[in-house]
A and B are shown apart, each in its own frame.
Chain A
Amino acid sequence: MMIGAVLAIVLTLAGAILAVGARNIVHAVFGLGICLCGVALAFLVLGSPFVAAMEVLIYIGGITVAMVFAVMLSTVGREEPREGMAKRVLAAIGALVFFGAGVAIILGMPEQITAPVTPEEAWSVEQIGRDLLNRFNLVFEALSLVLLLAIIGAITIASRSDESHDPTAGEGDS
């Protein structure tokens, strides 16, 4: 249990640092993949194997792959200019301040409650499915609608290639 948790944390943070730090965008996507694996592991440790599976399926299998496609369609093989030092330092300060604030809040919270002894069936996929289609039916439907719209929107935006002007011409301009 403990080992799993530590492994998950290490994987996640390492992947995250790679994801934000890598100069090459392909490496960054790769880092994101590692990080998401860690997150999935963390979900497993937190007793949700179904969610962990979904994480792997949707995130790593879907989103990350989509990003790779986007990278290949846009800036692949292009040398990226390094961000300015000042910007990075400012971003780091911002993040650190936020981190500090967050820690302050967390430590100010009341004493933790140890994990309750939960019946196994509560964590079961069956329970999730039943809740999803009964209690959270409306949210579920709304989400499906959002997904539908997102797909339509993505297609519309991405397919407007003939109207927008040619990328090569744009390059010549700049």
Chain B
Amino acid sequence: MTLHAWMVFALTLFCIGLYGVIARRNLIAILIGIELMLNAASINVLAINYFVSPEPAVGQIIVLFIIGLAAAEAAIALSIILGVYRQRASIDVTLLEELRG
């Protein structure tokens, strides 16, 4: 496995996540897509770290931070989703288009 192969793999994962974010209308599904994209980023970081960096610990620490942030983000996002559901009885994103001036 080369660095390029790992990066293409990460890109593929990212694009799948992107597709999910754009195509799905369920808020939880969108959140799943975002998690996929975050993981793609993590893979990328670790791969570059593995193949290039002379200081391997740094890449791992960055990924740890990403995981931590993802956890925080997920917690907030899920609570927002719950809040939206309470408000609207739905978590369909197409029904939330009310940002009219």
Which residues from chain A sit less than 8 Å from chain B, CB to CB?
Answer: 1-2, 5, 9, 12-13, 16-17, 19-20, 25, 28-29, 31-32, 35-36, 39, 42-43, 45-48, 50-51, 54-55, 58-59, 62-63, 66-67, 69-71, 73-75, 80-81, 83, 87-88, 90-92, 94-96, 98-99, 102-103, 106-107, 109, 112-116, 118, 122-123, 127-128, 131-132, 136, 139, 143, 146-147, 149-151, 153-155, 157-158, 160-161, 164-165, 167-168, 170-171, 174
Query: Is the contact region of chain A dominated by helix, strand, or loop, or is it mixed?
Result: helix
Instruction: Report the contact-size class of chain B (Cβ under 8 Å from the partner).
Output: 35 or more
Other contacts beyond A20-B24, A46-B47, A70-B82: 6, CB < 8 A: A16-B16, A29-B28, A58-B70, A73-B85, A112-B4, A122-B55
Q: B: which residues have CB within 8 A of A?
A: 1-4, 6-9, 11-20, 22-26, 28-29, 31-33, 35-36, 39, 42-43, 46-47, 49-52, 54-61, 63-65, 67-76, 78-83, 85-92
Total A-B pairs, Cβ < 8 A: 247
Contact B46 A48 (CB under 8 A): yes
